[in-house]
């Protein structure tokens, strides 16, 4: 179904994860990798999606494009995050079906899991409750695409798979304080405070929540392996299978950045989901995915990248 001659469209291919997915595909010998940029194709608009399918004529679509952000951005834009993520995916899948697409790989989100899902999160627990409130609109919009893929497989025989990656991090991440996730936000706070001589940094919540993180190169490898080897209706977690408290994460980033100031915890701000850790057995069993980069090594690479960007006058906005 997927070969080196396949025409593969990567939506969101110019983004943080998309660039690494592109590189991984090239390294594995794929020659026809196509990226619809938002300047040319606004994937929230049906006409643009139709034109993208007509112009690019893909055999496979890997749908990475999403409107995303941290807790703050989710709280400020619940309607936008629901509508834009839902409409993009629903139309891409339907118009892909009409175009005779051979395979659709949709990237979901860990935010789709219930707020109090048993830890580690098993794919079978996806429907056992409502997601954590601050990111539920985003999570539910993405989860709807899983239902669509399963329905289309049943009715039309469409080959669609749904992947659930845990929180990503790595070089090239989004370090904009208004929209960044926790690791780039903390790295920026510590590195910038060290450079400016600030005596304290403020961190949201009380530090008790746990999170799991996967290095971007590992996530891209998992996505490409699933594109090549997986074709079943059940969703699959893409993760590492460990958890760390936000408090311990802050301590680790402080040590790796050399920041020596004080941490102030703003407990008036939400923690988000209490715990997050994935059961990652299905990805290993179904398509042989095992992550390679150890967490501390990945953090070092990410910090080095950000510090290098700052030293060379890079604008992080």
Residue with the two structure tokens 């802050």: 250
* Among candidate residues 218, 222, 240, the one with its CA nearest the CA of residue 286: 222
Catalytic one of 138, 169, 230, 259: 138
138 is catalytic: yes
Residues 264, 149: contact at Cβ < 8 Å?
Answer: no
**Secondary structure of residue 259 in the 3-state scheme:** coil
**Cα–Cα distance for residue pair 124/235, rounded to 1 Å:** 9
DSSP string, 192-209: HHHHHT-SEEEEES-S--
Q: Looking at the chain, how many residues does it have?
A: 317
Can the peptide bond before residue 218 be classed as cis, meaning omega within 30 degrees of 0?
no
List phi, psi (to 5°) of 233.
-75, -20
- Which residues have C-beta within 8 Å of that of residue 128, sequence separation ≥ 6? 114, 117, 118
Tokens of 207: 């530090």
- Which residues have C-beta within 8 Å of that of residue 169, sequence separation ≥ 6? 181, 183, 184, 213, 214, 215, 216, 298, 299, 302
List phi, psi (to 5°) of 157.
70, 20
**Secondary structure of residue 13 in the 3-state scheme:** coil
**Cα–Cα distance for residue pair 23/42, rounded to 1 Å:** 23
Tokens of 119: 């830890």
Neighbours of 307 (CB within 10 A): 15
Positive/negative CA dihedral, 35, 136, 91, 148: positive
- The residues annotated as belonging to the active site are 138
């Amino acid at each position: 179904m997927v070969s080196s001659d396949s025409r593969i469209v990567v939506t969101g291919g110019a983004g943080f994860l998309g660039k690494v997915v592109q590189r991984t595909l090239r390294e594995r010998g794929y020659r026809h990798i196509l990226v619809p940029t938002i300047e040319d194709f606004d994937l929230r608009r049906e006409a643009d999606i139709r034109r993208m399918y007509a112009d690019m004529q893909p055999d496979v679509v890997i749908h990475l494009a999403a409107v995303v952000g941290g807790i703050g951005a989710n709280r400020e834009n619940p309607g936008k995050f629901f509508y834009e993520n839902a409409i993009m995916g629903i139309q891409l899948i339907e118009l892909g079906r009409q175009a005779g697409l051979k395979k659709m790989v949709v990237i979901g989100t860990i935010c789709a899991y219930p707020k109090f899902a048993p830890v580690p999160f098993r794919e079978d627990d996806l429907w056992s409750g409502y997601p954590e409130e601050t990111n539920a609109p985003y999570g539910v919009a993405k989860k709807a695409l899983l239902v669509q893929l399963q329905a289309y497989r049943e009715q039309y025989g469409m080959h669609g798979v749904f992947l659930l990656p845990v929180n990503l991090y790595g070089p090239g991440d989004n370090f904009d304080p208004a929209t960044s996730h926790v690791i780039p936000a903390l790295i920026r706070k510590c590195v910038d405070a060290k450079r400016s001589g600030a005596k304290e940094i403020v961190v949201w919540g009380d530090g008790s929540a746990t999170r799991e993180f996967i290095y971007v190169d590992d996530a891209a490898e998992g996505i490409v392996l699933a594109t090549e080897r997986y074709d079943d209706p059940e969703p699959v977690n893409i993760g590492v299978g460990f958890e760390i408290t936000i408090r311990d994460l802050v301590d680790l980033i402080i040590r790796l950045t050399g920041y020596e100031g004080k941490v102030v915890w703003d407990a008036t701000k939400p923690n988000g989901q209490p715990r997050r850790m994935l059961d990652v057995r299905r990805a290993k069993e179904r398509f042989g995915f095992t992550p390679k980069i150890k967490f501390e090594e990945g953090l070092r690479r990410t910090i080095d990248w950000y510090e290098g960007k700052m030293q060379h006058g890079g604008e992080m906005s």
